[in-house]
Amino acid sequence: MGSYRIALLPGDGIGPEVMDATVAVMRHIASGTSGLDMELTSHEAGATLYRQQGVALPDDVLADCLDADAVLLAAIGLPDVRKPDGTEVQPDMMVGLRRALDLHSAVRPVKLYPGVDGPLKNTESGIDFVIVRENLEGLFSSYGGGAVVGDTVATDTLVVTREGTQKVVDFAFKLAERRNGRPVDGQRKVTCVDKANVFRSFAFFRKVFEDVAVEYPEVASESCYVDAMSLYMVQNPSDFDVLVMENQFGDILSDLGAGIVGGLGLAPSAEVGDQHALFQPSHGSAPQIAGKNVANPLATILSAAMMFDWLGDRHQDQAALDASRRIEQSVTALLTERKCCTADQGGDAGTSDVGDALITLADNL
Ligand code: ATP
């Protein structure tokens, strides 16, 4: 029997609303899944808390995230809440959480659900690939560092290590083993996305990728330059299964990925390490639409589905895997029927309506 303690961080802006809808769905699914038990602990963290108390991520909240079986976060940051140096609290808090939980791989599914009106014309073969982003190194190694010399020169250093690259590439191949391959023909494949023709660091990333690929003979492997990949993601997205790349490239291409399958309101994500994992929608706190019950909660709800999938895989727990599958099936049915869409998907449903509709759909699966 799987019993999990989940730390919830609703955060700022639309975060609390999309979290409420998600928690309602999670509770309903868990109560209807035999052998699945969960305890939810919700914490204040983020820009609103920083404005009130001068701290975005209190030590006891971080300790609870480290202690929990998984962390589910909705949205952090408000543009008008700044630290004394003028920067927002969001990057500081997120990089801090990633480093503390040692979350080496970020996962962004790029999946076009039936009924979703994406911007691409030829999608008959389907779009269903995953971007795996190295999450602790690359250009983000420089976060909190970098150098500004006078008023003339600024530098940030991109770092690629064998250990960090091995971890993320290994994660990508293991993920490909669990998937059904690329939509066009079912081939399982991992594509290394880099700039190995120009930079030594990326040539090294590719070399480590090729070393790891040898250990997975059942999964095809190839490499592609990042500029070409940004073209192929638009022209032939059904050719891809799992893409693995450096941190900053992943940051950019994952928003492109969200754009081709219906936008940020439908884009979930996971950040995974060897011991911990954090799940959150790809969008931010969208303060312009906060408090109006119009935000799309599906990215957070799909992130919760990824969380149950990770827990199920990690603990060999069929109940958690079933919960993940039921959430995703309900979302697929909702989008296919186009019955209860928020404004970003062309409808007029409220955030809470989507949660309620999913609960009804889950009962009728
Ligand atoms: P951040 O830098 O914090 O990631 P961002 O600049 O990427 O934030 P978001 O807060 O993600 O911006 O939102 C950008 C816009 O996308 C919002 O103003 C809103 O119009 C739309 N958006 C984002 N998330 C949602 C959502 N869940 N539902 C509906 N619209 C959304």
CATH of the domain at 47: 3.40.718.10
Contact 6, 70 (CB under 8 A): yes
Answer for the pair 281, 300: CB distance below 8 angstroms, yes or no.
yes
What integer pLDDT is reported at residue 132 of this predicted model?
Answer: 98
CA distance 94 to 76: 8
- pLDDT score for 108: 98
Distance 181 CA to ligand 1 centre (A): 30
Mean pLDDT estimate for the chain: 96
Say if residue 351 is in the same domain as residue 333: yes
What phi and psi, each to the nearest 5 degrees, are found at residue 204? -65, -45
Query: How far apart are the C-alpha atoms of 351 and 343, rounded to whole Å?
Result: 10
**What is the per-residue pLDDT for 298?**
98
Q: How many domains does the chain have?
A: 2
Please check whether residues 107 and 145 belong to one and the same domain.
no
Closest atom, ligand 1, to C-alpha of 300:
27
Identify which of 108, 264, 340 to mutate to test ligand 1's pocket (most ligand atoms within 8 A of the CB).
264
Question: Ligand 1 mean position to 107 CA, how many Å?
Answer: 19
Query: Do residues 241 and 285 both lie within one domain?
Result: no
Is 223 a residue whose pLDDT tops 90?
yes
Does residue 219's CB lie within 6 angstroms of at least one atom of ligand 1? no
Quote the tokens at residue 109. Answer: 């599914």
Amino acid in the structure at residue 272: V
Name the domain boundary from 202, 237, 260: 260
CA of 264 to the centre of ligand 1 (A): 7
| Residue owning the nearest CA to atom 7 of ligand 1 | 284
Give the range of the structural domain holding residue 20, as residue numbers without chain letter.
1-112+264-365
Average pLDDT over residues 269-281: 98
Q: Which residues contact 257 (CB under 8 A, 6 or more apart)?
A: 108, 110, 129, 131, 233, 267
Last residue of a domain, one of 201, 227, 260: 260
Average confidence (pLDDT) over 213-227: 98
Regarding whether 133 and 12 lie in a shared domain, the answer is no
Compute the distance from residue 286 Cα to the ligand 1 centre, in Å.
4
The whole-number pLDDT of residue 1 equals 63
Helix axes 298-314, 351-363, angle to 10 degrees: 50
Q: Compute the distance between CA of residue 273 and CA of residue 101 in angstroms, rounded to an integer.
A: 7
Q: What is the mean pLDDT of residues 248-269?
A: 97
> 252 and 269: one domain?
no
Q: Do 20 and 69 fall into the same domain?
A: yes
pLDDT in tens, 146-194: 999 999 999 999 999 999 999 999 999 999 999 999 999 999 999 999 9
**b/e map of 95-125 (b: 16 or more CB within 10 Å)?**
ebbbeebebbbbbbbbbbbebbebeeeebee
Residues of the chain above pLDDT 70, percent: 100
Q: What number of CA atoms fall less than 13 Å from residue 360's CA on the CB side?
A: 9
196 and 248 in a single domain? The answer is yes
Mutational pocket test of ligand 1: of 269, 289, 340, the residue with most ligand atoms within 8 Å of the beta carbon: 289
| The pLDDT value given to residue 85 | 87
- Helix or strand (DSSP H, E) at 2: strand 2-11
332 and 218 share one domain: no
pLDDT score at 31: 96
Measure 266 CA to ligand 1 centroid, in angstroms: 11
Could you tell me the distance, in angstroms and rounded to a whole number, from the CA of residue 194 to the centre of ligand 1?
27
Q: Are 84 and 115 in contact (CB under 8 A)?
A: no
H-helix segments, the chain: 15-31, 47-53, 59-67, 89-101, 162-178, 200-213, 226-235, 247-260, 298-314, 318-337, 351-363
**Is the pLDDT score of 144 beyond 90?**
no
Ligand 1 atom at minimal distance to the Cα of residue 18: 27
Mean pLDDT, residues 17-43 taken together: 97
Q: What is the DSSP letter of 81?
A: -
**Once rounded to an integer, what is the mean pLDDT over residues 351-355?**
97
Of 132-136, 244-248, 283-287, 338-342, the least confident: 338-342
Percentage of residues of the chain with pLDDT beyond 90: 96
Q: Sign of the CA dihedral 161, 163, 165, 168? A: negative
pLDDT mean over 134-142: 96
Atom of ligand 1 nearest to the CA of 299: 27
Q: Whose CA is nearest to atom 12 of ligand 1?
A: 284
How many angstroms separate the most distant Cα atoms in the chain?
65
Q: What is the pLDDT of residues 32-90, one digit of tens each?
A: 999 999 999 999 999 999 999 999 999 999 999 999 999 999 999 999 999 998 889 99
